[in-house]
Amino acid sequence: MVTHPDPAVLYPDIEAHGSLGAALRTVAEGRLASVPISSPELAPLLGATIGCTLAHRAPLEVIAWRHERRWSIRGSDSFESMTLLDGTTDDLAEVAEAARAWHDGAALSGIRRAAPFVHLTGRFEVPDLDPVRLTESAWQQLRTEASELEYPWRPAYQALVEAAHAEPALRRLYPFTSHWALRFSTTTCPHLCVVGPLLVTHDVDRYTVDRTVASEDGTQFTTAPEAVAAAVRELPPGLAPVTLGR
């Protein structure tokens, strides 16, 4: 059984302020004075949420680690709840900088400049919820994620993602992953309408086009373009443009 230190041991300064939210206000030296910040009643030292002036952004989430002194942040959109930025730091002042920029509606790149620990996922903001742009944003995140993976089979997975993105019939669909299988939908998040087969990367020279994640009966290919071409052939005809998954 894993046990964690008492939060008061890791965060005595946070305990002195009563909550992570209150500590953030203090280290911000007045720059968060009028910003809505809250901490959970049951664990006030371990979490905080910071509101935003932009309706299409959800409150920024700040989570304190339980096993060492460190904080993680997550900023997402309010419609799909997809991560726009995240990051980890041991400097609470940096968290405050990111929180202020997020609240004020700074561009994602501007938040990154204000707080260099921030990592941009590749998604961009679509305030008007245009499903075509949301689909483009999802593809950009998928490609960014594939390029940043550190697993041994990253080149093979990245090749599959890039081959799928290069195919117009698939690029028009909303992409998502399930158990590292590349899948497609005719609607955006949060409510997906799955269509066509899934594409699975097994290793550097083996790809599968299948119907379910658990199946072992899929057709195998040795290159990503071959697998993508096979997936396109299995798409139903006359697919309508992507719509919002309300």
Q: Strand order of the sheet with strand 71-76?
A: 37-38, 47-50, 60-64, 71-76, 83-89, 119-120
Residue matched to tokens 């658990």: 214
* Distance, CA of 97 to CA of 31 (rounded, Å): 9
Instruction: Give the pLDDT of residue 2.
Output: 61
pLDDT at 212 over 90: no
User: Alpha-carbon distance 76 to 207, whole Å?
Assistant: 32
What whole-number distance in Å separates Cα of residue 102 and Cα of residue 93? 14
Is the pLDDT higher at 113 or at 150?
113
pLDDT at 117: 98
What pLDDT, in 10s, does the model give residues 162-193? Answer: 999 999 999 999 999 987 789 999 999 999 99
Residue that has been written with the tokens 């066509």 in this structure:
196
What DSSP state is assigned to residue 11? Answer: -
Determine contact, residues 104/53, Cβ cutoff 8 Å.
yes
pLDDT of residue 213: 58
Closest CA to 94 of 117, 64, 61, 122: 117
At residue 18, the 3 state secondary structure works out as coil
Torsion of CA 201, 208, 160, 189, to 10 degrees: -90
- Of the candidate ranges 41-50, 60-69, 212-221, 226-235, the one whose mean pLDDT is the lowest: 212-221
Dihedral pair phi/psi, residue 183, rounded to 5°: -130, 175
Q: Rounded distance, CA 52 to CA 182, Å?
A: 33
pLDDT at 217: 66
